[in-house]
Amino acid sequence: MSFSLLEEKASYTFSDYFALNLDAKEVLAHFGYSLRMQTSRLPHFPVSQKRTAALQERINESLPHISLNSETARREFLIAPVLLEVVHYTQAWVRVEYPLLVNDQLKGTLDYYLEAEHGLLVVEAKNADLVRGFTQLAVEMIALDKWIDSETSHLYGAVSVGDIWRFGILDRQQKQMTQDLNLYRVPADLPDLLATLVAILKGTS
């Protein structure tokens, strides 16, 4: 299957898929994967209510004083604090702007790739566009599927615009990407978001 904006011999970076604004289902099909959208049962790990409440309070009291019009502001004041809290529980190794090259159509820079017992990809959606951001997440997860040698059956990723997060799950055997219909808001849904991020990295159910 070919597409007028996705030529077989053309070269594309991960960010190009965001810019092209193609349908995620069509892009996945181009690489031989399918897409389904459903409410997913994501893993949870019990996190400290006290620590989480403290982080929620800090974010709540800070947000009225911060302009979130830029990607830098959303990254530093919303995404980074969440990931740092995840590191507290998992001691994950965090790769920021990590270069990855699989082939000419699967290459670019991963915003965040966290590794503990398991891996987790996080994409910061540019222009606060969660839809295009998920398409980019899907392509990057396909690249990881081809790059990772482990026998892990599922890969997990999340796309964030700072105050909203959405998860994606890639079934490597079925070559199927699931877009979770749930959205996690920061700071309102921070307890559930942290519990899921930590559980994914720890490999718990």
* Residue appearing with tokens 């009291």: 61
4 is a domain residue = no
pLDDT tens per residue across span 31-48: 999 999 999 999 999 999
Find the mean pLDDT for residues 124-136: 95
196 is a domain residue = yes
Angle at 57 between CA 71 and CA 185, to 5 degrees: 50
187 is a domain residue = yes
Using DSSP bridges, classify how beta strands 176-180 and 34-38 pair: parallel, antiparallel or unpaired: parallel
Q: Tell me what pLDDT residue 69 has.
A: 87
Residue 2 has pLDDT above 50, yes or no: no
Find the mean pLDDT for residues 90-111: 97
CA–CA distance from 17 to each of 53, 66, 142, 156, 192 (Å)? 37, 30, 13, 19, 30
Residue 205 has pLDDT above 80, yes or no: no
Find the mean pLDDT for residues 18-36: 93
Residue 115 CA to residue 117 CA, distance in Å, equals: 7
Residue 176 has pLDDT above 50, yes or no: yes
7 is a domain residue = no
Q: Tell me what pLDDT residue 202 has.
A: 96
Residue 4 has pLDDT above 90, yes or no: no
11 is a domain residue = no
Q: Phi and psi of 9, rounded to 5°? A: -100, 5
Longest dimension (CA), the chain: 53
Residue 116 has pLDDT above 80, yes or no: yes
161 is a domain residue = yes
Residue 188 has pLDDT above 60, yes or no: yes
12 is a domain residue = no
- Looking at the structure of the chain, the number of domains it has is 1
Q: Tell me what pLDDT residue 3 has.
A: 44
The domain containing residue 39 runs over which residues? 17-202
Q: What is the CATH number of the domain that holds 86?
A: 3.90.1570
92 is a domain residue = yes
Identify the DSSP state of 7.
-
Average model confidence (pLDDT) across the chain: 94
